[in-house]
Structure 1
Amino acid sequence: MDDKTRYETHPEVVSTATGDEIVLLSFRTDTYYGLNPVGARMWDLLGQGASVDTLCATLLGEYDVPEDVLRQDIRAVMSDLDAQSLIVAQEG
């Protein structure tokens, strides 16, 4: 996964808030996936199209965490979301 590639939420995935977390459901794969509050914020940003770089820059301004730790965590979540077909790379 390239840090500059922009991703967006898959069109066949719906999300619902459960408190400060989000639960995702893929109609295509019947996959359920839960995101904690930081993951929920990532999901919100992905709804507008975002890269790992964009997510990192935005979340660094919102959370008190070292950049290298945040970037590693973002990559891990993004890789998992991609593996579960919950996000797609934007074309162009």
Structure 2
Amino acid sequence: MSEPTKDQKIWQVVMAVPEGRVVSYGQVAAMAGLGRQARYIGKALGKLPAGHAVPWYRVIRSNGQIAFPEGSDHYREQVSRLSAEGVEVVNGRVSMSRFRW
């Protein structure tokens, strides 16, 4: 069996994030063994194939902020999905002290 790709390692980490919890891009990078490659995490999540089950919306900035521009479709979808899991989003931010995995 072949070694998982960098993207697959990232997706595996995100799949492990429990419902109602969030992680930062940097946390995902560290947990995937990618050191300080936080900026790459968003690129990898953007490559997810159609019909995937990876909970990409549980990944946010280290300060708790949603990375998508406020009002965009992705922003609204992320807020909606997080709220449905009980994660409180106020002014585009999540309390990392309350909801970080």
Shorter-chain TM-score: which interval?
Answer: 0.3 to 0.5
Higher helix share: 2
Higher strand share: 1
Higher relative contact order (CA 8 A, sep 6+): 1
Larger Rg: 2
